[in-house]
Amino acid sequence: MSAPLIRLRGVTKVYGTGQAELMALKGIDLDVEAGEFVAVMGPSGSGKSTAMNILGCLDTPSSGQYLFHGAHVEGLTRDQRARLRRRYLGFVFQGFNLLARTSAQENVELPLLYRGESAPVRHASAAKALASVGLGGWEHHTPGELSGGQQQRVAIARAIVTEPAVLLADEPTGNLDTQRGKEIMELLRSLNVDHGITVLMVTHEPDMAAYARRVVRFVDGLIAGDAPNPHPVLPETQSPAAQAH
């Protein structure tokens, strides 16, 4: 039996020293198989964001093991973690994080620019990614000319333009109204089901977590629950790529 895509064993994270010491993670074990869609939930300060930062190679554990594709990540240098991020991971944030005066096309091309890809490769890959999120024909619009839902679609296109193995989404619907939020969740599910991208999503919203097939709950730096979603939202009949709002 092959090893899971992601494995955490006994992972802790301590911030500060002495009386200021805070143990954000108290020894967590977590396996994520390739192709899963996992919602990560928990109150503020529960450790879920710290765990996601470690999974995204944005931070390192104080102790314990983090294996990705069977390789140990916890001992990598900063540059090695950066290379792993560029090769395997995509990120989507609540605030979109788009460059305001830059077109959708250019925003999506940024990760490829950092990887040193040629202009023709960048242009073709960005156009393909935008089309896959329902924004074909919107390449030359700036974020100010797009709705909130469209801006998040651009951000998702930017995250998937490198064809990552894992998409890490931090409150991806937090700045959207209910309908736009549902459309973004349909899009994430489509990327998971149709493209095989493993999705790990932090959310406070049960309605959004319902789109995941598995829910992991953090409490006080520990995993308090980890179970299949008993009542997943069924797919919409219309494909998310057709809902370019």
Neighbours of 96 (CB within 10 A): 21
Please report how many Cα atoms fall inside a 13 Å half-sphere around the Cα of residue 84, on the Cβ side.
22
Per-residue pLDDT averaged across 164-184, rounded?
91
C-alpha span between 177 and 183 (Å, rounded)? 10
Contacts of 90 (CB under 8 A, 6+ apart): 111, 158, 159, 160, 162, 164, 166, 167, 168, 197
> What does residue 225 show for φ and ψ, rounded to 5 degrees?
-160, 145
Is 0.85 topped by the overall pTM?
yes
pLDDT digits (tens, 9 = 90+) for 40-52: 999 999 999 999 9
pLDDT digits (tens, 9 = 90+) for 76-94: 999 999 999 989 999 998 8
> Would you state the pLDDT for residue 1?
62
Instruction: Name the residue among 227, 226, 170, 221 with its Cα closest to residue 64.
Output: 221
Find the Cα–Cα–Cα–Cα dihedral 12, 174, 197, 209, rounded to 10°.
Answer: 80
**In this prediction, what percent of the chain has a pLDDT beyond 70?**
95
pLDDT at 56 over 50: yes
| DSSP-derived secondary structure letter, 88 | H
Average pLDDT for the chain? 91
**In this prediction, what percent of the chain has a pLDDT beyond 90?**
78
C-alpha span between 67 and 69 (Å, rounded)? 6
Confidence of residue 236 (pLDDT cuts 50, 70, 90): low
> Would you state the pLDDT for residue 109?
96
Q: Which domains does the chain carry? A: 6-242 (3.40.50.300)
pLDDT at 141 over 80: yes
Confidence of residue 238 (pLDDT cuts 50, 70, 90): very low
C-alpha span between 88 and 131 (Å, rounded)? 21
pLDDT digits (tens, 9 = 90+) for 107-122: 999 999 988 899 999 9
